[in-house]
Amino acid sequence: MTQHLWERLLEAKSRLKPVQSKYRVLFEDPNAPDEPAKVLVPDPNWMAAALEGDILPPIDTYQRDRLVPDGEPKEHPYAEPIGPMTEEEAIEYLIMKDIDPAVWRDYKGNRTIMKIVPVELIPSDRSFRNAWKINQEADERIAA
């Protein structure tokens, strides 16, 4: 019988060293165009589990569970875990798991609303944080 995901996460945290990803995902919500660009930060313990393998469930179990009503049994905690991912594969998994499909799947406009960028391209000065937008030029830096 497959061990529950919660138990696998506890066991993984006890033995794996956290991994700070060198990537961030910039995205804008097409349903909230007035909001600033958002920055998705992979969790270091989650990234360690993704790189290790045999801990996290298949991404499609989360996608099916989105359709399951509150309080009904979910599939992902009991699914057979998948093998190790590369960091790039883990980022793609996170995009599909944690970002609304309206951003990464359904958007058909011309504006670039999502980019995977090295962490050093994210500004550390937050003075104008609520004015951040994804720069539409070749330079990948966020433009305020």
Interacting residue ranges for other proteins, rule: CB under 8 A: 3-7, 9-11, 13, 18, 20, 24, 35-36, 38-46, 49, 56, 62, 65-66, 70-71, 73-74, 76-77, 94, 97-98, 119, 122-124, 126, 129-130, 132
Burial degree of 74 (CB within 10 A; 0-12, 13-18, 19+): middle
CB of 82 to other proteins, least distance (A): 13
Q: Are 52 and 23 in contact (CB under 8 A)?
A: no
Angle value at C-alpha 61, between 91 and 81, nearest 5 degrees: 75
For other proteins, the closer CB: 4 or 110? 4
For other proteins, the closer CB: 62 or 110? 62
For other proteins, the closer CB: 46 or 107? 46
Q: How far apart are the first and last CA of the chain?
A: 51
Give residue 113's Cα distance to chain centre.
Answer: 15
Both tokens assigned to 34? 């007035």
CB of 51 to other proteins, least distance (A): 14
CB of 37 to other proteins, least distance (A): 9
CB of 138 to other proteins, least distance (A): 22
Crossing angle of helices 44-52 and 87-98, rounded to 10°? 120
